A and B are shown apart, each in its own frame.
Chain A
């Protein structure tokens, strides 16, 4: 049921996307990669913002959308649930320009079949307040363990964590570094003991966190108005806060970082398949990759976007965003029970309910 040709556009395309992924110049006039597309193709772009991978899966399960910018922890679920359709890369002329590291990435390629076009990837950084931290913190411990921060005050109530079960992986990665005896190979593949250790760490974190962040913009607000000084975050928030002249910066501490690599995937029942294909091509072929990587502070899936001058990105910018750190980042992926590294792992559904429990104080 893969499409074999792209016909004329249907007039619109409905996309589920992460905050900051699809901009039409409303927040900042300079960042607009939608208007020209709409003018050129006649496909009006409707965006529904989702805050977590789970929301994306839920929205796609419910239907009514053509495309989704799914991260690795959502993409495989969508494929397994038959919510997305195989992509005919022959209908996307710019496919060849895609980063080779991403072309056959396992989070969108199953049994050699492609289920989407790579969109963008990047790390989950540690955002911090530069007035509190004169120097960048070197460890994630500022958000995991109770301590006094450089300004002499405790970190209690002044740090945040992501309100999504996938944050368990951040804890696991922290333990990988600090408790090698647990034998964690991948933060997404945890046996019962490793999993328990991660939850225990998160329970400590709960005592430090006043409010978890769920929405990028609310996190921005909390950094401004609620005295939050450190949190796992996305480069996007860092960029926006900096633009508002807020005293923040970001870093990837010694333990490394989890990250995301997102794929534009198409719904099995997409009502607007032609516009969807046109968008996928647009996402690789235009200024989009370049501007997006500046705007969000992450890396394009088309390496040429760093250098070919179609958008604002530069080679230095790409390097700063970590284009060369691909191998250091552990990309979000859905934990499954039959895991490669140790046979039997705690599956994702338990992550979901247990993380709710941890936030609830259990």
Chain B
């Protein structure tokens, strides 16, 4: 391995990258800071004092748990749907050649390339036309639609890197279509699906706009936050929730990183 031909980065690049990262993170540190402020009605800087009580307060607020529960359920189901649809699509696109392939790759990207508000109000007015009442499933419908693409992209990229002859090799060795899927395809695209699934979960978990239009009266975590931020009861509670979400997701993100990185190395080793 000699990817490291350039040993040192130019100083200017380091500074620019550092400033960029700082720009990305200072506001997040601020969010963390205000999870500890003693001031509950409005924020003032610097915070008048620090306290841990908001963690307990948050823990004891049933509305937080309700919203969190709904968000987790919505994101999980959306991710499962996106994984299924995205993988099917990726398999069709990369394993076969047919008229309209290009159109399909465009179709998959459309829901994320069009602003969320369009997805939102299209679905909402379609629900109205079809007289479908808002429910858990209307939210999932909206979320899964724009999550498909992240799974699809990851899977297509992995399929592309996966040597085409692997599938033939498996069949050659006596495995039929299903056995090949189970023993060769799945293990090889697994980490890509994991990464895609995580991104899909993240997108769904944090989606405000599409949810606003497809949730009716249900509150997912972001909708709860919107309400809470606009009409604050105990402001730091939102910060506690945001902070906990970041910390809780830290490990899975790291895990996904190492998993997909290894996957790339394996499939890239063909020389």
Please report A residues at the B interface, Cβ cutoff 8 Å.
14, 19, 26-27, 46, 48-49, 62-64, 215, 217-218, 221, 224-225, 244
Contact = CB atoms under 8 A, between A and B. Distances in A.
Interface string B213-250: 00011000000000000111100000000000000000
B179 interface: no
B128 interface: yes
B217 A48 contact: yes
A199 B109 CA distance: 44
B233 A27 contact: yes
23 contacts: A14-B217, A19-B231, A26-B233, A27-B233, A46-B217, A48-B217, A49-B231, A62-B128, A63-B128, A64-B133, A64-B134, A64-B216, A64-B217, A215-B230, A217-B230, A217-B231, A217-B232, A218-B230, A221-B42, A224-B42, A225-B42, A244-B41, A244-B42
Given A27-B233, A63-B128, A221-B42, 19 more contacts: A14-B217, A19-B231, A26-B233, A46-B217, A48-B217, A49-B231, A64-B133, A64-B134, A64-B216, A64-B217, A215-B230, A217-B230, A217-B231, A217-B232, A218-B230, A224-B42, A225-B42, A244-B41, A244-B42
A66 B42 CA distance: 34
A49 B226 CA distance: 12
B216 to A, nearest CB: 6
Contacts of B217: 14, 46, 48, 64
A162 B128 CA distance: 31
* Interface of chain A, main secondary structure: mixed
A26 B231 CA distance: 11
Interface in B98-153: 128, 133-134
Contacts of B232: 217
A27 B133 CA distance: 31
Size category of the binding interface on chain B: 10 to 19
Contacts of A46: 217
A46 B41 CA distance: 24
Nearest to B63: A26
Nearest to B127: A62
A250 B230 CA distance: 23
B244 to A, nearest CB: 22
Contacts of B233: 26-27
Q: Which 8 A-B pairs have the closest CB atoms?
A: A217-B231, A217-B230, A224-B42, A46-B217, A26-B233, A244-B41, A215-B230, A27-B233
A200 B150 CA distance: 50
Nearest to B125: A62
B37 to A, nearest CB: 15
A46 B216 CA distance: 11
Contacts of B231: 19, 49, 217
A19 B230 CA distance: 11
A62 B231 CA distance: 24
A267 B1 CA distance: 71
Contacts of A62: 128
A215 B232 CA distance: 12
A228 to B, nearest CB: 14
A27 B216 CA distance: 24
Contacts of A215: 230
A258 B265 CA distance: 70
A49 B231 CA distance: 10
Nearest to B43: A225
B192 to A, nearest CB: 40
A221 B235 CA distance: 12
Nearest to A48: B217
Contacts of A224: 42
Nearest to A19: B231
A180 to B, nearest CB: 41
Contacts of B216: 64
Nearest to A224: B42
A218 B42 CA distance: 11
Nearest to A215: B230
| Of B134, B216, B217, most A-chain CB atoms within 10 Å | B217
A30 B217 CA distance: 26
B139 to A, nearest CB: 15
A183 to B, nearest CB: 41
A127 B42 CA distance: 20
B220 to A, nearest CB: 15
Contacts of A48: 217
A64 B132 CA distance: 11
A19 B231 CA distance: 9
A147 B231 CA distance: 33
A29 to B, nearest CB: 11
A19 B128 CA distance: 26
Interface string B34-50: 00000001100000000
A19 B133 CA distance: 25
Interface string B183-212: 000000000000000000000000000000
A49 B42 CA distance: 21
Nearest to A14: B217
Contacts of A19: 231
Contacts of B128: 62-63
A218 B232 CA distance: 10
A227 to B, nearest CB: 14
Contacts of A218: 230
Interface in B25-60: 41-42
A309 B91 CA distance: 72
B187 to A, nearest CB: 47
A49 B133 CA distance: 20
B66 to A, nearest CB: 13
Nearest to B134: A64
B136 to A, nearest CB: 15
Contacts of A64: 133-134, 216-217
